[in-house]
Amino acid sequence: MTDAAEQISHFESIISMDQCIEPKDWMPEAYRKNLIRQISQHAHSEIIGMQPEGNWLTRAPSLRRKAVLLSKIQDEGGHGLYLYSAAETLGISREEMIDALQTGEAKYASIFNYPTQTWADVGAIGWLVDGAAIVNQISLQRNSYGPYARAMVRICKEESFHQRQGYEIMLTLSRGSEKQIQVAQDALDRFYWPSLMMFGPHDSESAHSARSMAWKIKRETNDDLRQKFVDQTAPQIQILGLRHPDPKCIWDPERGHYDMGEINWEEFYSVINGNGHCNRQRLEHHIDAHEEGAWVREAMQSYHEKKKQQSYAKAS
């Protein structure tokens, strides 16, 4: 066996035994690139995802709601940082990833290009968006790249708290006045379909799924995960006493699943190609915040350089 054939065979045996590939292990270039693409886009989603909820920090209806929301948004920032660190172990720098986000070369989850118009939208995001994210991320805890899989464990714990705080907001509103029930219904109507889009295109249209499934970068397909989310969400809507946004979402006893209507794929592709309500605003805000924070990065850099010089001086 040649060295190259041995490397491939070793890599494939690790994957087939459900063990993890670690940063120093040999891996095919396409595996590395695909992971960088998915992990960095996942990180960008966490970071850009702070904006729609951040829009409500000053207007949260009580001090308790504000403290909880602040803490949730900080968690999302933390998730972004673990994920950027996981991607860095694959040989890409943070600057390169930020540059790809800001130039539009790298995507982030389409859902964050929808505006948060009312307080109920914050509830709907926690419940549906974090809810959809958990369904996907539980599955990603078993992905084949060690640093990504391990980051998912902590992220899932935090997301499950986020999902509950969102559902609690919706529960409070749906037990409230006529007006509160109406804003809860409106938030559900606007966020339900974009949440289903978070799972990506149908399997038959998914460019990366087959390869990612073979390499266990993804453990379940887009459609299977979407079905899980639809199944868990339908009874939750019933408990809230709200109207389901999808009239076709009916229990099919034969399949043991809820049916679903068709997603508006034209809208999905328009949003992921930069033409959603908030795409431009989200990136402009990120660029402004990044530029404003340049002095912090410079200060950190010179602090580390000074520390390094001091330790060299001590050693010599």
- Positions touching ligand BYC (CB under 6 A) are 37-38, 41-42, 45-46, 49, 76, 107, 109-110, 125, 129-130, 133, 136, 197-201, 206-209, 212, 218, 222, 272
* 159 Ramachandran zone, left/alpha/beta (phi>0; psi -120 to 50): alpha
- What is the identity of the amino acid at 65? R
Residue nearest to ligand BYC as judged by C-beta position:
49
Q: DSSP per residue over 41-78, as a string?
A: HHHHHHHHTHHHHHTTGGG-SSHHHHHHHHHHHHHHHH
* Residue 283, CB-side half-sphere exposure with 13 Å CA sphere: 19
Quick one: 44 or 173, whose CB is closer to ligand BYC?
Answer: 44
Tokens read off for 31: 């595996």
Residues 162/181, Cβ–Cβ less than 8 Å: no
Q: Minimal distance in Å, beta carbon 188 to ligand BYC?
A: 16
Residues 146/20, Cβ–Cβ less than 8 Å: yes
CB of 129 to ligand BYC, least distance (A): 5
SS3 of residue 257 by DSSP: strand
Q: Quick one: 198 or 283, whose CB is closer to ligand BYC?
A: 198
CB closer to ligand BYC out of 183 and 272: 272
Q: CB count, 10 Å around CB of 134?
A: 20
> Minimum CB separation from ligand BYC for residue 97, in Å?
13
From the CB of 5, what's the least distance to ligand BYC, in Å?
Answer: 28
Nearer to ligand BYC, 273 or 301 (CB): 273
Nearer to ligand BYC, 26 or 269 (CB): 269
| Residue 154 CB, nearest approach to ligand BYC (Å) | 13
In the complex with ligand BYC, which residue's Cβ is closer, 114 or 258? Answer: 114
Least Å from the CB of residue 297 to ligand BYC: 23
Instruction: Give the residue among 153, 169, 175 at the shortest CA–CA distance from 68.
Output: 169
